């Protein structure tokens, strides 16, 4: 079992650019959540996808958007990158919306 | 406002000694409570969770946590720490089943284990 996989592992972007991060959930999981973890802080919830729809959303601007595909994988898109978007982005998957969430190793995004 | 507080940013403990990490929450009702561990370069791993019932919860790697409603606390403990327990520990809450997956995390406690 591959667990939750995220790509890429590291990424450097320039302010104002756009970025796409990818997540493949653990086998058998159909729900994906995204979190932003700034340095020295706990993860903050961005949004959750289930059945290809955004089900819940945290306090993040519309520059943050996502998508879930029929195979349950998911993308996180961030437009007009700011320096403050530099963080570790974590993906978590679960089977349904009310079961244990498994986290990937994250994508480290650096905005310069 | 709803919040999760981990008062200790950094704890140093000797190998073999006991460990206790504190977590306090502020919510209108008892939320669902979790402890996660994050090793360098790794994602988060669930140690244990509390939904209801017995207030002493057993988890993996020899960890346990006690829920105290009167103190709004969910402290994590381990009787004897191993060098491999050096990591960052996060307390998290989910306010309700409707908000499951929308975890709110504390700021974390970094644990250093000395020989």
d(CA A71, CA B100): 22
Cβ of residue A46 closer than 8 Å to a chain B Cβ: no
Residue of A nearest to B39 (CA): A105
Sequential pLDDT tens for chain A (112 residues) = 679 999 999 999 999 999 999 999 999 999 999 999 999 899 999 999 999 999 989 999 999 999 999 999 999 999 999 999 999 999 999 887 667 789 999 999 999 9
Do the chains contact at B100 and A98, CB–CB below 8 Å? yes
Choose the mutation target among B3, B44, B50 for the interface with A, i.e. most A CBs under 10 Å. Answer: B44
d(CA B81, CA A100): 26
DSSP single-letter state for residue A37: E
DSSP single-letter state for residue A26: P
CB B44 within 8 A of CB B38: yes
Residues from chain A that touch B33, judged by Cβ atoms under 8 A, are: none
Partners of residue A100 on adjacent β-strands: none
| Parallel, antiparallel or unpaired: strands A44-50 and B32-38 | unpaired
Residues 20-59 of B with CB under 8 A from A: 36, 41-46, 49
Residues from chain A that touch B107, judged by Cβ atoms under 8 A, are: 40-42
Do the chains contact at A42 and B100, CB–CB below 8 Å? no
Question: Which of A41, A56, A90 minimises the CB distance to B102?
Answer: A56
Sequential pLDDT tens for chain B (115 residues) = 778 999 999 999 999 999 999 999 988 777 889 999 999 878 899 999 998 888 999 999 999 999 999 999 999 999 999 999 999 999 999 877 666 678 899 999 999 999 9
Question: Which run of H or of E encompasses B5?
Answer: strand B3-5
Query: How much is the pLDDT for A52?
Result: 94
The structure tokens 């709803």 sit at B2
Query: How much is the pLDDT for B98?
Result: 66
d(CA B108, CA B23): 9
Question: Which of B90, B97, B102 minimises the CB distance to A42?
Answer: B90
């Amino acid at each position: 079992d591959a667990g939750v996989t995220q790509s890429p592992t590291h990424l450097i972007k320039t302010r104002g650019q756009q970025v796409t991060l990818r997540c493949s959930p653990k086998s058998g999981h159909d729900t994906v959540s995204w979190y932003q973890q700034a340095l020295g802080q706990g993860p903050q919830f961005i949004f959750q996808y289930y059945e290809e729809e955004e089900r819940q959303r945290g306090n993040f601007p519309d520059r943050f958007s996502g998508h879930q595909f029929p195979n349950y994988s998911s993308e996180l898109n961030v437009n007009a990158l700011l320096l403050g978007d530099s963080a570790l982005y974590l993906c978590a998957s679960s089977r349904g919306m009310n079961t244990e969430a498994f986290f990937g190793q994250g994508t480290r995004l650096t905005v310069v | 406002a709803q919040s999760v507080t981990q008062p200790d940013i950094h704890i140093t403990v000797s190998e073999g000694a006991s460990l206790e990490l504190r977590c306090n929450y502020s919510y209108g009702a008892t939320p669902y409570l979790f402890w996660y561990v994050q090793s360098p370069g790794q994602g988060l791993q669930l140690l244990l969770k509390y939904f209801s019932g017995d207030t002493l919860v057993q988890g993996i790697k020899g960890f346990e946590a006690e829920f105290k409603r009167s103190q709004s606390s969910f402290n994590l403990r381990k009787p004897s720490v191993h060098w491999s327990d050096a990591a960052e520990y996060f307390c998290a809450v989910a306010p309700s089943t409707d908000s499951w997956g929308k975890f709110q995390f504390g700021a974390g406690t970094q644990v250093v284990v000395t020989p």
